[in-house]
């Protein structure tokens, strides 16, 4: 196996401490959380108290000023262990960076320390019942009122961390006739009159994730709720586009980690399980299948590590990140399917990690931009004619 070179000793020490945290605070409860459909709220405050949230934020906002590799490690560890109900990644590396990058000083001071401590849980609400891939089609509106406030109306669906969320970045049209150029981002707090949570959605996988619907019925937002203030009005789409490389790479990182873990589980299983007097792993089909999967996952790991390096050097472009997202999540689904097969009937039983990993994998090809949309992005960068 090719040695990974992106991490230093401090990162590996951190990996150990995060593993201990998962062993104590997450793993023993995750199955119960899958059954209830959401994680315990304390797992957020405990993560905050241990410095595991928003690590890449500057210290003045409650972070550690850490490089992104610490967050990479969290994605890898949670997905390798199948602890997919935990939404730290989206909270720390999607929601908080929007506020850090585009927010006013006032917004940064108001929200970032609370996100870092786990006092507030963050979500981002782009998708709507009739607008997912085609975000320009969002129907939610936030229309400016004579007193400078905005009136938010609309509904969102499939929102990760949505049921627990205290702070939601909401994508809404401020100029409905302006298309992409009429879209803005708003910071909407739990408890604002007219903001209601819908039901937690029952899903094929990520069963402990509190993915929810959100409803906004005449929510009156003060002017200060516009992310970035007046300067960012109608610039929401630009902000969304700028953040895509890192968001897509997060999915690729978790896809490779989950795939490697499934291969490791399967290798252990096929060594033990006897059929026709010898281990499943002794059959050529098993050995060659695993050799092929391991080869592809190794290739994927090297590619993703290179993308991480590029990201940290601020050189990762959206097309390359889209390649990583689509190719590794397709690979993840293929790995899970083959690993389930090699487990026989036990691969269909929920108590087996490979079964859960199979269920959790499927959405990786869908969210963060579907893999078809990733191919659209790649073809555009190749100069091919568009739709
Ligand atoms: C578990 C989960 C968590 C999620 N978390 C969030 C979240 O936190 N925040 C959020 O805003 N959203 C979230 N989403 C929504 C997710 O991003 C969308 O589901 C996704 O972008 C696809 O949109 P859609 O479901 O409307 O599918 P559609 O856009 O209706 O797509 C249907 C099919 O058409 C294909 N298609 C669409 N356009 C094209 C095209 N131009 N060319 C070729 N094929 C095309 C798609 O690839 C897909 O196969 C989540 C979804 C899930 C399932």
Per-residue pLDDT tens over the stretch 228-277: 999 999 999 999 999 889 999 999 999 999 999 999 999 999 999 999 99
Among protein residues, the one with the nearest Cα to ligand 1's atom 23 is 132
Distance from Cα 244 to the centre of ligand 1, integer Å: 15
The answer to whether the CB of 117 is under 6 A from ligand 1 is: no
The pLDDT, as a whole number, for residue 250 is 98
Ligand 1 atom showing the smallest separation from residue 370 Cα: 47
Cβ burial of 105 (10 Å; 0-12, 13-18, 19+) is exposed
Nearest to 181 by CA among 220, 141, 136: 136
Distance from Cα 133 to the centre of ligand 1, integer Å: 5
Top mutation candidate among 137, 165, 366 for ligand 1, by most atoms within 8 Å of CB: 366
The pLDDT, as a whole number, for residue 103 is 98
Top mutation candidate among 37, 91, 133, 138 for ligand 1, by most atoms within 8 Å of CB: 133
287 and 166 within one domain: no
CA atoms within 13 A on the CB side of 301: 19
199 and 183 within one domain: yes
Q: Is the pLDDT of residue 386 over 90?
A: no
Q: Is residue 386 part of a domain?
A: no
Last residue of a domain, one of 93, 121, 149: 121
136 and 109 within one domain: no
Mean pLDDT calculated for residue range 178-191:
95
The pLDDT, as a whole number, for residue 335 is 99
In whole angstroms, give the CA distance from residue 340 to residue 335. Answer: 9
Q: Is the pLDDT of residue 340 over 80?
A: yes
Last residue of a domain, one of 234, 264, 283: 234
pLDDT in tens, 87-111: 999 999 999 999 999 999 999 999 9
Return mean pLDDT, the chain.
97
The answer to whether the CB of 366 is under 6 A from ligand 1 is: yes
Q: What is the four-CA torsion angle of 9, 247, 200, 44, rounded to 10 degrees? A: 30
The answer to whether the CB of 370 is under 6 A from ligand 1 is: yes
Report whether 153 contacts 215 (CB < 8 A): no
Q: Is the pLDDT of residue 368 over 80?
A: yes
pLDDT in tens, 153-166: 999 999 999 999 99
The answer to whether the CB of 159 is under 6 A from ligand 1 is: yes
- Buried b / exposed e along 339-349 (16+ C-beta atoms within 10 A): bbebbeeebee
* Cα separation values, 384 from 37, 317, 371, 376, Å: 43, 17, 17, 9
Distance from Cα 128 to the centre of ligand 1, integer Å: 10
303 and 251 within one domain: yes
The pLDDT, as a whole number, for residue 179 is 85
Q: Is 247 a catalytic site residue? A: yes
CATH number of the domain residue 247 falls in: 1.20.140.10
Report whether 345 contacts 191 (CB < 8 A): no
99 and 186 within one domain: no
The pLDDT, as a whole number, for residue 121 is 98
Q: Is residue 320 part of a domain?
A: yes
Residue 202 belongs to domain spanning: 123-234
Distance from Cα 230 to the centre of ligand 1, integer Å: 30
The pLDDT, as a whole number, for residue 180 is 87
Q: Is the pLDDT of residue 208 over 70?
A: yes
Distance from Cα 324 to the centre of ligand 1, integer Å: 17
Ligand 1 atom showing the smallest separation from residue 156 Cα: 11
The pLDDT, as a whole number, for residue 387 is 67
């Amino acid at each position: 196996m090719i040695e990974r070179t992106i991490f230093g000793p401090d990162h590996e020490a951190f990996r150990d401490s995060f593993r201990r945290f998962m062993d104590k605070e997450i793993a023993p409860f995750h199955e119960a959380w899958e059954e209830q459909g959401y994680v315990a709220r304390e797992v957020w405050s405990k993560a905050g108290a241990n410095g595991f949230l928003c690590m890449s934020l500057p210290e003045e906002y409650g972070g550690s000023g850490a490089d992104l590799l610490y967050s990479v490690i969290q994605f890898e560890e949670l997905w390798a262990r199948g602890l997919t109900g935990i939404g730290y990644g989206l909270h720390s590396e999607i929601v908080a960076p929007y506020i850090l990058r585009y927010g006013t000083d006032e917004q940064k001071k108001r929200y970032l320390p609370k996100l870092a401590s786990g006092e507030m849980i963050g979500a981002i609400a782009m998708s709507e019942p009739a607008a997912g891939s085609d975000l320009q089609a969002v129907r939610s509106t936030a229309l400016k009122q004579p007193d400078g406030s905005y009136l938010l109306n609309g509904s969102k669906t499939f929102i990760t961390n949505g049921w627990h969320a205290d702070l939601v970045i909401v994508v809404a049209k401020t100029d409905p006739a302006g298309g992409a150029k009429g879209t803005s981002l708003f910071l909407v707090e739990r408890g604002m009159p007219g903001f209601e949570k819908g039901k937690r959605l029952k899903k094929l996988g990520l069963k402990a994730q509190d993915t929810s619907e959100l409803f906004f019925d005449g929510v009156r937002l003060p002017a200060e709720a516009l992310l970035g203030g007046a300067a960012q009005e109608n610039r929401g789409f630009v902000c969304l586009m700028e953040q895509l490389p890192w968001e897509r790479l997060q999915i690729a990182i978790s896809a490779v980690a989950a795939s490697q873990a499934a291969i490791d589980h399967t290798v252990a299983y096929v060594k033990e399980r006897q059929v026709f007097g010898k281990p499943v792993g002794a059959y050529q089909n098993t050995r060659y299948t695993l050799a092929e999967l391991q080869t592809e996952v190794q290739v994927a790991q090297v590619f993703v590590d290179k993308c991480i390096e590029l990201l940290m050097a601020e050189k990762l472009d959206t097309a390359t990140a889209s390649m990583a997202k689509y190719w590794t999540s397709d690979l993840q689904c293929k790995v899970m399917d083959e690993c389930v097969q090699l487990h026989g009937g036990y691969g269909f039983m929920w108590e087996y990690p490979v079964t859960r990993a199979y269920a959790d994998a499927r959405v990786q090809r869908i969210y963060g931009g579907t893999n078809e949309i990733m191919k659209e992005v790649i073809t555009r960068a190749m100069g091919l004619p568009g739709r």
